[in-house]
């Protein structure tokens, strides 16, 4: 029985990545919403542990990331792009939750 559990462990841990991806999407969509100000969205993301790199005024995308710890391996990186509204540079137009980046 113990051997079966040890053999199944990699499958269980790899499933965590896809589960983590959907949880991240749900989490981010609960924290920020399109239509809010970019400043407010960045403050909320930073309060949740994300680092958002300051964008130049002309940039349409502000990348945010944070470390996602894993039990037996090195950490993954959760990445979210904040997309500025085409109509207003200080309004969040969209959210792009990117795939987890794991070494």
**Which pair of tokens denotes residue 57?**
């005024």
What predicted TM-score, i.e. pTM, was given to this entire model?
A: 0.76
Assign 80 a pLDDT band (cuts: 50, 70, 90).
very high
Please indicate, yes or no, if residue 16 is contained in any of the structural domains: yes
4-20: average pLDDT:
46
DSSP 12-42: HHHHHHHHHHHHHHHHHHHH--TTSBHHHHH
DSSP, collapsed to helix, strand or coil, labels residue 56 as coil
Please indicate, yes or no, if residue 54 is contained in any of the structural domains: yes
pLDDT at residue 14 is higher than 90:
no
pLDDT of residue 33: 97
Please indicate, yes or no, if residue 60 is contained in any of the structural domains: yes
The residues, ordered by sequence, that sit 6+ positions from 102 with a Cβ below 8 Å of its Cβ are: 17, 70, 73, 74, 76, 77
pLDDT of residue 37: 96
pLDDT tens digits along 42-72: 999 999 999 999 767 778 999 999 998 877 7
Please indicate, yes or no, if residue 102 is contained in any of the structural domains: no
Mean pLDDT for the chain overall: 82
**How many structural domains is the chain composed of?**
1
Please indicate, yes or no, if residue 103 is contained in any of the structural domains: no
Q: Which domain holds residue 55?
A: 2-97
């Amino acid at each position: 029985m113990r051997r079966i559990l040890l053999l199944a462990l990699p499958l269980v841990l790899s499933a965590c990545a896809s589960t983590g991806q959907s949880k991240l999407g749900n989490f981010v969509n609960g924290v920020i919403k399109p239509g809010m100000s970019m400043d407010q969205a960045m403050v909320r993301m930073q309060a949740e542990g994300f680092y958002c790199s300051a964008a130049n005024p002309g940039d349409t995308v502000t990348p945010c990331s944070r470390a996602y710890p894993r039990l037996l391996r090195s950490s993954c990186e959760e990445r979210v792009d904040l997309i500025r509204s085409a109509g207003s540079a200080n309004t969040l137009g969209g959210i792009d939750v990117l795939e987890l980046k794991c070494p």
